[in-house]
Amino acid sequence: MMDQMIEQTKTFVRSQLGDDATGHDWFHVDRVRRTALHICKQEQAGDAFVIEMAALLHDVPDEKLNDSVQAGKNKLNSFLQSIALPDEVQAAIVQIIDTISYKGGSKTELKTIEAKIVQDADRLDAIGAIGIARTFAYGGKKGQPIYDPSINVREEMSLEEYRKGKSTSIHHFYEKLLKLKDLLNTDTAKGMAESRHQTMVDFLEQFYLEWDGQDR
């Protein structure tokens, strides 16, 4: 029964996010799912079914990918009701999805190990080589410049400023990505983050050399 629900959920998510060009496509979701299950296994903690379901569905209600916050919530709730999950399992999945987003760095306390694991998996996919690629895919889709040295890095932001304020793809590294290594919850994720973080540091160093018309 659980396997069947997982397959139904995969099919639904593919239909919703399969063609996304902002870095929130099916392949992102599947990486987060597999990473979350890996962390669950390594940490020997959490309900694997709840973790897998929340990882699969975590971007479905995302306000960036829907017409409104409410439209995203409605889409998620209507799908969960269609697969006849027990109320407490539905509530656990929704609670995870509601609390794991970065949202400009505002700290939301995570109540369960399942939420911590899914958040870690999602954040790991935002850093490293794939994180770099996703940053420029998202920035390009949203019409942001690659870099503009006249724009200042935003230190403190409201959610509105984070979503709609003036920034660039390179600035996004300082406003979010380089902070993620220190915001992870599990030892497994922290270990995985080390080389990914260093990949971004090395990339930025090379980027500025080339920006200035130099090379190593």
Q: How far apart are CA 28 and CA 55, in angstroms?
A: 10
Q: How far apart are CA 159 and CA 165, in angstroms?
A: 10
Average pLDDT, the chain: 90
* Domain span including residue 154: 2-211
Token digits for 153?
A: 């890095």
pLDDT digits (tens, 9 = 90+) for 132-169: 999 999 999 889 999 999 998 877 665 666 566 678 99
Domain annotation covers residue 216: no
Token digits for 32?
A: 């987060």
Q: How far apart are CA 35 and CA 33, in angstroms?
A: 6
Q: What is the count of structural domains for the chain? A: 1
pLDDT digits (tens, 9 = 90+) for 3-61: 899 999 999 999 988 778 888 999 999 999 999 999 999 999 999 999 999 999 999 88
Residues 6+ away with beta carbon under 8 Å from 22: 64, 65, 137, 138, 141, 142
pLDDT at 188 over 70: yes
Domain annotation covers residue 12: yes
Domain annotation covers residue 50: yes
CATH code at 134? Answer: 1.10.3210.50
User: Helices in the chain by DSSP H: which ranges?
Assistant: 2-17, 26-43, 48-57, 69-82, 87-99, 113-124, 128-141, 159-164, 169-175, 187-211
What torsion, rounded to 10 degrees, do the Cα atoms 145, 106, 87, 77 define?
-30
Domain annotation covers residue 36: yes
Domain annotation covers residue 155: yes
pLDDT at 105 over 60: no
* pTM score of the predicted model: 0.91
Domain annotation covers residue 111: yes
Question: What confidence score (pLDDT) does residue 200 get?
Answer: 98
Question: What confidence score (pLDDT) does residue 215 get?
Answer: 73
Domain annotation covers residue 192: yes
Domain annotation covers residue 189: yes
Neighbours of 19 (CB within 10 A): 9
Question: What confidence score (pLDDT) does residue 21 get?
Answer: 85
Q: Which residues of 80-90 are buried (b: 16+ CB within 10 A; e: fewer)?
A: beeeebeeebb
DSSP 125: T
The CA angle 164-31-67, to the nearest 5 degrees, is 35
